[in-house]
Structure 1
Amino acid sequence: MQNNSKELALQIARILDAKKAIDVVVLDISHLTIIADYFVIASGNTEIQVRALCDELLKSLRQQGVDVRRQEGYRHGRWVVLDYGDVIVHLFHREDRAFYNLERLWADSLSLSVHGQN
């Protein structure tokens, strides 16, 4: 399952990158927790951009038959969380991302390259 999860995480990262998300990262957290295998973290400059990133991701994945299990935070557009099972997507307003700094909290994770192969 983890290989499929990795492929999904990288696909999500590429979709967000193509939509001009800021600082897209994929963290392999599979060795740290059972809640998910991967976090995908990305930012937008405005609440409108965060919601647009969310909309694009939901639409693109739904067209491929991949539906979100749970979604939180869309209305405010400051921090949206999308649960795709083994992949959790965090879309932040850039200021909130700096404040919460998930990358620091999950510092023992393994970072995957969005553009290259890992």
Structure 2
Amino acid sequence: MTSLELAQKAAAILDNKKADELKVLGIRELSVLADYFVLATGTSSTHVKALADELEFQLKETGNMPDHVEGYRSNSWILLDYGHVVIHVFTAEARRFYDLDRLWQDAENIELNFLSEAE
């Protein structure tokens, strides 16, 4: 699975669990941190944890294990690092506070076709 496919798969899983404000950012040209960031917002700290748990479970089923997971104690921002893809699951307050959307505004916005199908 390519890093783009992993990012899109992660976004689809999060979408199926009703994540808000889903975004996949291509950062390969801007940083050595990863190829893609996936940003998602949960409606509560419980929803954030459920999103991260489901994501980790389903990606494990496809043979993808995170290299690192952070933030389960806070439940306001959980980070799942899959090497070339880093997934950020926030509460709305944490997303506004950290404002990764603004910090990475020069990143490539990857179109998520399944989002338009659901509307």
After the TM superposition, which residues 51-66 of structure 1 pair with which residues of structure 2 at under 5 Å, given as runs? Answer: 51-66=49-64
* d(CA) in 1 for partners of 2:73, 2:52: 11
Q: Deviations over 1:48-71 (max 9, x none)?
A: 000000000000001111101100
Write out the 4+ residue segments of structure 1 that deviate beyond 2 Å after TM superposition.
Answer: none
Correspondence for 1:74:
72
The CA deviation at 1:113 is 1.4
Unaligned runs of 5+ in 2: 115-119
CA distance in 1, matches of 2:89, 2:55: 11
Q: Which amino acid aligns with 1:64?
A: T
1:77-113 deviations in whole A, cap 9, x for unaligned? 1000100000000000111101111010011100011
Under a length normalisation based on structure 2, what TM-score does the superposition of the two structures give? 0.92
Counterpart for residue 35 of structure 1: 33
The answer to whether 1:19 aligns with 2:28 is no
CA RMSD of superposed structures (Å): 1.1
Stretch of structure 1 that moved more, 106-115 or 19-28: 106-115
Where do 5+ consecutive residues of structure 1 fail to align? none
CA distance in 2, matches of 1:98, 1:17: 20
Query: Match of 1:89?
Result: 87
Distance of 2:70 and 2:107 partners within structure 1:
23
1:20-67 CA-to-partner distances (Å, cap 9, x unmatched) read: 001110000000011100000000110000000000000000111110
